[in-house]
Amino acid sequence: MRTPIAAPFRRLARLLAGLLLAAPALAGGQITAETLDSPRLGRPLPYRLYTPGEGSGRLPVLYLFHGLRGDETDWPKDGGIAAILDAAIHAGEIPPLFAVMPGVGNSWYVDSEAFGPIATVLSDDLLPAIDTKLPTQACRTGRAVAGLSMGGLGAVLQGLRHPDRYGAIISLSGSLFDPVPPNADPAVLARFRMFGPVLGVPISVERYNAANPFLTLAALPTQGPRPDLWVAAGDDDYPMILVGSAKLHIEAQRAGLASEFRVIDGGHAWGTWRRGLFDALVWLGPRLKPCAD
């Protein structure tokens, strides 16, 4: 189904055009290549860092996760993230912020023998390193995590497992699939071969379910901080992804979380994600608040 281009994307296009005309007068953000030395991982973790061209004091941080077969250059190169963030900041949709884009290979953002303790490194090494390196709002209301496809799953897992660290989660075309029973037919598990060696060869049901977003949501404590969710997928996306995104939204609401769901015009592609991200940033802006003293 094809639908007219959404109003938020038209607004984004106008903002980007305005930025090009006003470029000499406006200070745009900068993207730099950085690395995290991680003894836990046993190798450096590369990431790209967006630093805004305006703003002072302690700023919030948006963590952006790439998809399968991607790396830390995807959001700057294919996603045009600097221009999108510049536009959203200049328009007042979001406050000036840092954006951190780690490169984790095809790790699916989980701890594994194949790629190392990626999930733990992101939560326990990268976050404190960024808060030490930069003047950040080092609290859950000053952090959000977002991702696309494989990274959408990673964002959901990180945000739900660490609700004390992230106040908001954004999933764009996230790989959000149902759990499987312990005695699942091998043919069922064969559908998830895109996980590669991360969950075992053949895939381990136990490891697959341990990294499942729906079971992770079900395990979220009923007391304490709870993140808000923004879930989106393209109307021409893979059926499993579109259905899984809608289901996560429904289950999140049933669990008492604030959740929004959007169907974007497009498929499993960067054009869809760029449109979806700006819409998500408009939603995110009011949720990024200074840390309470």
Under CATH, what is the fold of the domain 28-285?
Rossmann fold (3.40.50)
Cα 263 from Cα 272, distance rounded (Å): 10
pLDDT of residue 276: 95
Residue 8, class by beta-carbon neighbours within 10 Å (0-12 exposed, 13-18 middle, 19+ buried)?
Answer: buried
Strand 116-117 versus strand 111-112 pairing type? antiparallel
Statement: residue 191 has pLDDT above 90: no
- Asked whether residue 23 carries a pLDDT value surpassing 50, the answer given is no
Calculate the average pLDDT of the chain: 92
Bond before 202 cis per omega within 30 degrees: yes
The SS3 of residue 162 is coil
**Domain map of the chain by residue range?**
28-285
Q: Tokens standing for 231?
A: 């879930």
pTM across the whole model? 0.91
- The band of 50, judged by pLDDT with boundaries at 50, 70 and 90, is very high
- pLDDT at position 116 is 97
How does residue 187 score in pLDDT terms, banded at 50, 70 and 90?
confident
Q: Is the pLDDT of residue 8 over 60?
A: no
What are the pLDDT digits (tens) for 246-281? 999 999 999 999 999 999 999 999 999 999 999 999
Nearest one of 150, 160, 61 to 109, comparing CA atoms: 150
